Structure 1
Amino acid sequence: MRNELKVQLPVPIDTKRYLMGKVAFVDVAIFSPFLLLSGLLIYLFYSCGILNKYTFIFSISPSIAIIAFQMIKHPVRKEISYLKYKVLWRYNYKQREKEFFYRKGAFDMADKQDARRKIGIKSTFADCYETNDKRFVRVFEVSSVNLSLANKPEKKSALESFRVFMTTINFLDSIQISQIAQPINLSRHLQHISKRQQGEESHVKRLLNKGYRNYIENIQKSRELVTRKRYITISKNIGSDREKALDEIDQLSKLLITKVESMTFDYSTLSVKQLNNDELTKLMYTCMDYDNAVSVGDYIIERANDRSSISVGENTAKDLIDVLQRQLTEKVN
């Protein structure tokens, strides 16, 4: 595997207790009802005098099927059975509700159609997602290193550093690494162009700057141009003490940042940024509704924090303000 520049990463620890060989106690608990059913069918057929090879095969078929499904394991994660990931998980996936809606206001625990229940995020608090199952989830944006232009020693050093990170961190089970495509954000570039345009007297240059601004805005609205950002998330159960949970996730955050920043990639290093409440809201909105995230852009935070009973677009809001101001100035008392 070293010649192929691959690293064997640790898989989740199998916590099951085994009776003998690959047969765990939980497997025996799953087999038992079907074995009893097969025994009962054999006894009934024998009592009725119709026990033969066909009825015998019919009787033991449920037990053989469930044993086979339970003993066949996932090709990578050996602790997961075929029955679990190919039958139960697939059934739950097909039975899930495919349409849900978001309603502003207090969270109604009885409303199963509310998007907040489906997503599992209750609110953002102290730079964390607070989930419905009482967990704090903190998200970190991590820079990337381009290994495509590195030579073999540099690639081996980078992969070895990543392997050390994965094998030495003691809360690996609470870490999730993800890559999320997001619309590109050229707001700072547009602000720079607007600042340079101020005080420009040449009519031709103003037209050129205006055309360039429109070009940049069209790029931002394009769904084909995206940026891929890398994130690491950690979670901590809240339990009965919220302050204690926040302190513990703060300690985990500091340890995670130290571990990531200590990874060496020859002349390059990784930078880690902890997302604040506004950035968490934007990330959640982008994952929920990518198309609207492209068009809304930086106004996501304003819309998320809007507490009025109605929401209007930017142009409509300006027209409404102009009408109200005109009515106030022209009204005769």
Structure 2
Amino acid sequence: MAFDTQGAIERRDRLRQEGKIELPLNVDTRKYLLSFLKYRDILISLPLFVVCAAIFMYLRHTGYDVNAQLVVVCLSPWVTFLTILSIHHPDRKNINFFTHKVIWRIQFRRRQKLFVYEKGGLMDKKKALKDIREQLGIRNVYSECYETTDNRFVKVIKVSSINLSLLNKTEKEKIFRSYETFLNDVSISMLPLQVSQIAQPINLTKYGRDIEAKVAGVENKAKQMLNKSYLKHVDDMQTSKDMVSRNRYVILSRSFNLLTRKKVLDELERDGKLLSSQIENMMGGRHKLKAKVLNNEELFHLMFACIDYENAQVNFSFKTSLFSPLTVGNRTFEEMDGRWAKMKEDHIM
């Protein structure tokens, strides 16, 4: 089936004018009997079909005449259930109605919604409330790595991207060959590699700081008002839930124990720098990629965006710099200091 390139470009341009992007869907590898009916749905509904068939046979043996009306009545529950399974989400076509409206809602109602954190070791697993680190699988953010609860260090490398849709066939083949060469040259000690594409809120904080620095010495009142209005527009843009960016990451992980902890950290640090260099040297010219190992703060923001995307934008806000410093009295300062000390005791970071 041919891909409508022109239609995809027009749709992307329209979404760009609306300040949106189209998130990619996972490839649907399930087998279809028809364009809307999957083998998996038929298998799921098979027990209901057996029940309907048993009811039909029972009614037949009790003296009911076999006709079209009896068949329709007996098979209507199975057909209805099969129809519900074939209905898909209006926006996310790879998710069906039954999964979205029934299964996920049941799982949401039954899952644990209150998580706690204790300083020191992990909580006793026999307790009713599980530690949030046990749920996330991340014990700490340490030395530019995630330290997981199953004793692994995870290094995350952020990689820039190339828009392949704007390239011709020759350039695409050249990039694919370079990528193939890169994969063949990766050291066995770095395998397996995980390559992820994660949608995150856009981060215009650096751009906003640069604008603030450039206009810091402006004395004209009208220009100051325009600058503040523009900075507010930039901040509103990056805190909008409709504005997202797709970032690419290459992830390395290595197991450790108490004896090999320091050694594994050093090896992972070396492999991270080596892999970043290999990525940047993969291609040259205008297609050259940039790779950066995430530091502790960036790892925290990535984790926060993955577990609480709706509120992740607040981490990028720079509105506070638009106002004058706040002056408080000694009693208020002591209360704020006490709350901050308690927060450090109760939170993972």
Q: Secondary structure at the match of 2:166?
A: coil
- Work out the CA distance in 2 between the residues paired with 1:230 and 1:238: 26
Seen in structure 2, the aligned counterparts of structure 1 residues 125 and 201 have a Cα distance that, compared at 3 Å, is closer
- Work out the CA distance in 2 between the residues paired with 1:258 and 1:199: 40
Q: 1:276 aligns with which of 254, 270, 295?
A: 295
Cα deviation code 1:73-93 (max 9, x no counterpart)? xxxxxxxxxxxxxxxxx9xxx
Match of 1:259 in 2: 278
Match of 1:116 in 2: 133
- Work out the CA distance in 2 between the residues paired with 1:221 and 1:327: 29
The alpha carbon displacement at 1:185 in A equals 1.6
- Work out the CA distance in 2 between the residues paired with 1:144 and 1:293: 22
Q: Secondary structure at the match of 2:164?
A: coil
Match of 2:42 in 1: none
The answer to whether 1:231 aligns with 2:237 is no
Give the AA of the match of 2:209: Q
Q: 1:289 aligns with which of 308, 311, 333?
A: 308
110-119 or 283-292: bigger deviation: 110-119
Match of 2:264 in 1: 245
Kept after mapping to 2: 8 A contact 1:157/1:265: no
Kept after mapping to 2: 8 A contact 1:142/1:229: yes
In structure 1, stretches of 5+ residues that fail to align are 1-89, 300-312, 329-333
- Work out the CA distance in 2 between the residues paired with 1:258 and 1:218: 36
Match of 2:227 in 1: 209
**For residues 288-327 of structure 1, what are the structure 2 equivalents within 5 Å?**
288-297=307-316, 321-324=327-330
Seen in structure 2, the aligned counterparts of structure 1 residues 155 and 100 have a Cα distance that, compared at 3 Å, is farther
Q: 2:148 aligns with which of 127, 131, 134?
A: 131
Aligned length, in residue pairs: 221
The alpha carbon displacement at 1:277 in A equals 1.3
Match of 2:201 in 1: 183
- Work out the CA distance in 2 between the residues paired with 1:326 and 1:249: 45
Match of 2:172 in 1: 155
Kept after mapping to 2: 8 A contact 1:140/1:273: yes
Match of 2:98 in 1: none
Match of 2:57 in 1: none
Cα deviation code 1:7-28 (max 9, x no counterpart)? xxxxxxxxxxxxxxxxxxxxxx
Match of 1:35 in 2: none
Seen in structure 2, the aligned counterparts of structure 1 residues 270 and 324 have a Cα distance that, compared at 3 Å, is same
Cα deviation code 1:154-181 (max 9, x no counterpart)? 1011111212222342246431100111
Match of 2:25 in 1: none
TM-score by length of 2: 0.56
Cα deviation code 1:257-284 (max 9, x no counterpart)? 2332231266421111111111111111
Give the AA of the match of 2:290: S
Give the AA of the match of 1:113: K
The answer to whether 1:99 aligns with 2:105 is no
Seen in structure 2, the aligned counterparts of structure 1 residues 227 and 327 have a Cα distance that, compared at 3 Å, is closer
The alpha carbon displacement at 1:292 in A equals 1.9
The alpha carbon displacement at 1:129 in A equals 0.8
- Work out the CA distance in 1 between the residues paired with 2:333 and 2:272: 54
Give the AA of the match of 2:230: Y
Q: Secondary structure at the match of 1:118?
A: helix
Cα deviation code 1:54-101 (max 9, x no counterpart)? xxxxxxxxxxxxxxxxxxxxxxxxxxxxxxxxxxxx9xxx69945352
- Work out the CA distance in 2 between the residues paired with 1:177 and 1:253: 14
- Work out the CA distance in 2 between the residues paired with 1:327 and 1:117: 35
- Work out the CA distance in 1 between the residues paired with 2:265 and 2:182: 24
In structure 2, stretches of 5+ residues that fail to align are 1-102, 335-349
Q: Secondary structure at the match of 2:197?
A: strand
